[in-house]
Amino acid sequence: MSDPTALDTERVAQAVLKEVLAHQRRMRDGGCTAEVCPRCAAHHLDAVREAVAQNRRIEFVLPAFPTKSPNPAKVLGPLPDLAEELALRFLNSLCERIGGIHAPGATIVLCSDGRVFNDLLGVTDEDVTRYVRAIDEMITRIGATHLEQFTLDEVYNGAGHEEMRETLSAGYARSVEELREEVRAGGAPLAMYRGITRFMLEDLSGPRWTGTRSALQRKCRTLAYRVIQRSKAWGDLLGELFPDAIRLSIHPQPCSSEKIGILLADTPDVWLTPWHSVAVATGDRYTLMKRAEAEEAGGRLEFVDGRPSHYVLDTADSGRLRDRAA
């Protein structure tokens, strides 16, 4: 460690991880300590140090930006809006800050997982295609040069969408029984299962559901396992395709996990994502809320280029909202 280059590499790698972990999305009681968790930093240090030592760009992989929730009580429609734009700007600025520490910079590959499980959510393949294209256009429009998208369409180029999902599952999916065992054991898999079941319930309880509440709950519990099954298959495939990348996740992670959970927005609900919500301007900042909550709080819908974009709450309304949340 007396080699000055090694010392420098160590210092740069630590500083890069500090930037990332400052926005860590943690699991409650997951074991992390301090504002920047030293155990999580130690866990990912080798991968970052290797990129720094080789003077190469640090690559992150983030399965995210799948498709909008099909529930109109949560979102403004099937296309990305300001909620996604804020998240993309944030992720790009994170890469820019890393570039200020490590000259070759950083890139985040957004591995859109909409095509992986949209059929389970009742979202059409056409809506997934439109969403992915619109995210690409948004990346170009806002000049987010450190971000790129990667989808299942690029893995199985030319195949039909159903065929892509079948090929992915045949090659990588673990059995539902095996996943059930993990969930039964508690901890992070149980929290993930509960989080996804909650999303499914919200997403599918829109006007299109005509059955009973308990039937919907049963359906969502079954579907949650299939979403987890496909997400894990996608994750394993990405691990093969991007072996040197550092894995990020939109889900809260326990301490020292293989993936670093990352916050995409300033929101009190760590499970809320831009594609399950709307952006709400409150005074000098933005937060994410479900659309129905933004409307109930008195939010005013704003349009940009003729399309619904986000809500604005005046300061008195935001104060009332804070009082209610307290």
Q: How far is the CB of 45 from Zn ion (least distance, A)?
A: 12
CA–CA separation, 268 and 147 (whole Å): 26
Q: How far is the CB of 40 from Zn ion (least distance, A)?
A: 3
Cβ nearer to Zn ion, comparing 24 with 112: 24
Q: How far is the CB of 34 from Zn ion (least distance, A)?
A: 8
Give how many residues touch Zn ion by CB under 5 A.
5
Cβ nearer to Zn ion, comparing 25 with 174: 25
Is residue 40 close enough to count as binding Zn ion by CB under 5 A?
yes
Among 39, 141, 300, 320, contact with Zn ion (rule: CB under 5 A):
39
Cβ nearer to Zn ion, comparing 39 with 213: 39
Query: For residue 140, what are the contacts with CB-CB under 8 A and spacing of at least 6?
Result: none
Q: Which residue type, as a one-letter code, is found at position 221?
A: R
Q: How far is the CB of 27 from Zn ion (least distance, A)?
A: 10
Q: How far is the CB of 41 from Zn ion (least distance, A)?
A: 8
Is residue 32 close enough to count as binding Zn ion by CB under 5 A?
yes
Q: How far is the CB of 60 from Zn ion (least distance, A)?
A: 17
SS (H, E, C) 111-165: ECCHHHHHHHHCCCHHHHHHHHHHHHHHHHHCCCCCEEEECHHHHCCCCCHHHHH
Q: Which segment (76-84, 131-139, 191-199, 250-258) binds Zn ion by CB under 5 A?
A: 250-258
Cβ nearer to Zn ion, comparing 45 with 73: 45
Among 37, 168, 233, 312, contact with Zn ion (rule: CB under 5 A):
37
Helix axes 114-121, 161-172, angle to 10 degrees: 100
Q: Which segment (7-15, 32-40, 65-73, 270-278) binds Zn ion by CB under 5 A?
A: 32-40
CA–CA separation, 312 and 292 (whole Å): 13
Q: Fill in the DSSP letter of residue 284.
A: T
Among 237, 255, 270, 301, contact with Zn ion (rule: CB under 5 A):
255
Q: How far is the CB of 184 from Zn ion (least distance, A)?
A: 25
DSSP letter for each residue of 78-113: SS--HHHHHHHHHHHHHHHHHHHHSTT-EEEEEE--
Beta strands in the chain (DSSP E): 58-62, 106-111, 147-150, 246-249, 260-261, 278-282, 285-289, 300-304, 307-313
Cβ nearer to Zn ion, comparing 17 with 280: 17
- Ramachandran area for residue 299 (φ above 0: left; ψ -120 to 50: alpha; else beta): beta
The binding site for Zn ion (CB under 5 A) comprises 32, 37, 39-40, 255
